[in-house]
Amino acid sequence: MTSHWSDLPADVLAVLRQGAVIPAHPLALDERRRLDERHQRALTRYYIDAGAGGLAVGVHTTQFAIRQAGLYEPVLELAARTARNWTHRPLCLIAGLAGRTEQAVAEAQVALRHGYHAGMLSLAAMKGASVDELVTHCSTVARVVPLVGFYLQPAVGGIHLPPAFWQRFAAIDNVVAIKIAPFNRYRTLDVVRGVVAAGAEDRVTLYTGNDDHIALDLLVPFAVRRGADEVQVRIRGGLLGHWSVWARSAVQQLERIHRAVAGGAIDPALLSLDSRITDCNSAFFDVANDFAGCIAGCHEVLRRQGLLQGTWCLDPAEGLSPGQAAEIDRVCSEHADLSDDAFVAENLSRWLA
């Protein structure tokens, strides 16, 4: 089984290219660290009702260790089935792909089998590979499934990827998008330069994964030279672990940003939103401890809302860092208007049914 982006449903491709909120789907576990299907379904329903344009499953926020735990296919299947049963509107389903080439291809086949539209390819397992080897790896996987590139920040296992790589990656015909998440402005620009150099800016849609710079990534255009011309490129949407929490608010923020960009009038209040979102992220992602509690921090926000039973991760050593809960208390108090607590409370029983 193989898939090309031109075969995707037109309405799904339109959602992806317009720019959408695509939460990186967490993993719901019970106290014995086994899959909690009831709360896993509730999360999927929550994101759909919040207005998300897609779901990313099997990615970093879902925990890469689902593969070793034998949960990769069950988790992908559950999310896709829940989404199909919950909504008929177009929803872009993106599966996380990891490992060396044989594993990534096998995971792409699993994703296609369950109705996923694209695969987001982590290159963490390719550490030490040359640009030629990386491009060969990506091209091989792209022969199976439309690809979303993934610049994962090195602090959580990513590798440095130069502009030459991104130019050659963007030139692969079956690449549809890139999630830019190095948490670094220079490396973010490397991706944009590579896409423009490949002449792929109209085919490859850029998504922010820079959870420390969400609003400004979406508000500020990039100006890149291509020969004598200046090419302006925008990041259209976000595929974010941060948007796994307070998702209804994220949808409203992106709608507001899209309206402002289309109208050519960006007010200071919208610009200042960037620092407020980043402050929240500092607590959720445990910046004080070099992101050690980034997954558990998102779990904690969802636990407080009733969407998860606890903050358990597959690795028993992974959890909230000392002081992280107090930081989450602080940002939840100082930025309460950015939460979607009321929305969740109103719908939680229905999602858990």
Q: What gap in Å lies between CA 278 and CA 281, rounded to an integer?
A: 5
How far is residue 119's CA from residue 150's CA, in Å, rounded to a whole number? Answer: 10
Domains assigned to the chain = 5-263 (3.20.20.70)
Q: At 230, is the secondary structure helix, strand, or coil?
A: strand
Q: What amino acid occupies position 280?
A: C
Q: Over the stretch 203-223, which tens digit does the pLDDT of each residue have? A: 999 999 999 999 999 999 999
Radius of gyration over every alpha carbon of the chain, rounded to an integer in angstroms: 19
Three-class secondary structure of residue 59 per DSSP = coil
pLDDT for 234 equals 97
On whether the CB atoms of residues 295 and 303 are closer than 8 A, the answer is no
Q: At what angle do helices 131-142 and 163-170 cross, to 10 degrees?
A: 20
Residue at 297: amino acid letter = G
Output the furthest CA–CA distance in the chain (Å, rounded): 61
Distance of CA 196 to the CA centre of its chain: 22
Is the model's pTM score more than 0.95?
A: yes
Q: What is the overall mean pLDDT for the chain? A: 96
pLDDT single digits (tens) 130-143: 999 999 999 999 99
CA distance 183 to 156: 11
Work out the average pLDDT over 48-57. Answer: 98
Percent of the chain scoring above 70 in pLDDT: 100
Band of the pLDDT at 156, cuts 50, 70, 90?
confident
Q: Cβ(203)–Cβ(169) under 8 Å?
A: no
Residue 83 has pLDDT above 90, yes or no: yes
Given pLDDT bands bounded at 50, 70 and 90, which one contains residue 265? confident
Where is 72: in which H helix or E strand? Answer: helix 72-86
**Average pLDDT for 81-106:** 98
Give the integer Cα–Cα distance in Å for 82 and 117.
16
Angle between helices 131-142 and 101-113 (to 10 degrees): 20
Alpha helices in 150-267 (DSSP H): 163-170, 185-197, 214-219, 247-263
Contact in structure between 298 and 63 (CB atoms under 8 Å): no
Paired with 120 in beta bridges are 96, 148
Concatenating the DSSP letter of every residue in 259-274 gives HHHHHT---HHHHHHH
Q: Which helix (H) or strand (E) holds 151?
A: strand 147-152
**In 3D, which of 126, 101, 118, 45 has the Cα closest to residue 78?**
45
Rounded to whole angstroms, the Cα distance separating 56 from 17 reads 16
- Determine the 3-state secondary structure of 161 from DSSP: coil
The token pair that represents 258 in the structure block: 């899209």
Tell me the Ramachandran region of residue 286: left when phi exceeds 0, alpha when psi lies from -120 to 50, beta otherwise. Answer: left
Q: Would you say residue 155 has pLDDT above 80?
A: no
